Amino acid sequence: MSSFLHTAEGLDNYQNLCKRDIVNGKARSACSYTAWHDQTAATATATATASKDVQIVIMNPSAEGGMPHTRPPNIICIPAYFPESMMAETMKHELIHLSQRNRPAEWEKYGLSEGWMKMTNLEHPEHQEHPDIPSEWLRRCRLNPDTIHSRFWAWEGRYIPLPLFVREDKPDLKDIVVRWYDLQTEVVSSSPPKSFIKKYGNVPANSQEHPFELWAYSGINPIN
């Protein structure tokens, strides 16, 4: 299974990006991003839910803070000992992330129809400095393997959700707040834009952080 992760790293450079980023590297200092020694731990639910084109890799329980995620081109990473009661819903979520990863043009078109604009000039996440987002906010953003290939989107072409570590000195992968950066006023707000709430309601922070997460948590794939 390590070979699958090696191939994935060659495609998205995700682990290298995390290590090179001071805050994200610190947040993962106690995590072991390795395949688990017992791959038979893949449950019947996970195996049955995945299509034949999807590769399931059981990970060390600490990998990515114990959060399931995807890697290219078709990998779903599930931490060992993940609760079986959450597996079916989680697999549905991660399969939507794989669709987003492998059908980018269709998801970008869907995003535009929903009111989202992909920030194409931020396509390369290794470029930490960018004129659209002040560096003091950008450096606190948590990297996410499910969105690293399309990192920032703007609601109504104006408001960018930023998943920020609560503490920059002691970052915790699960201790995140979402702040909204207004490209016009250059102000950061703790509340989503009123138009976002009108369309989507008061969704939790894990859905606010990126439209890919918003749609994956909905459990509905509009592209299929």
**Residue 40 confidence (pLDDT):** 80
**Residue 132 confidence (pLDDT):** 83
**Residue 39 confidence (pLDDT):** 86
Model confidence pLDDT, tens digit, residues 65-83: 999 999 999 999 999 999 9
**Residue 122 confidence (pLDDT):** 46
**Residue 141 confidence (pLDDT):** 96
- For the chain, give the DSSP string: -HHHHHHHHHHH-HHHHHHHSHHHHHHTTT----B-S-GGGS-HHHHHHS-TT-EEEEE-TTGGGG--EEETTTEEEEETT--GGGHHHHHHHHHHHHHHHH-HHHHHHHHHHHTEEE-GGG--TT---BTTB-HHHHTTBPP-TTTGGG--EEETTTEEEEEEES-SSS--TT-EEEEEEETTT--EESS--HHHHHHH-S--HHHHT-HHHHHHHHT--TT-
Mean per-residue pLDDT pooled into runs of 10, the chain (224 residues): 90 95 96 92 65 88 97 96 92 96 96 93 52 88 95 95 97 97 96 97 96 95 86
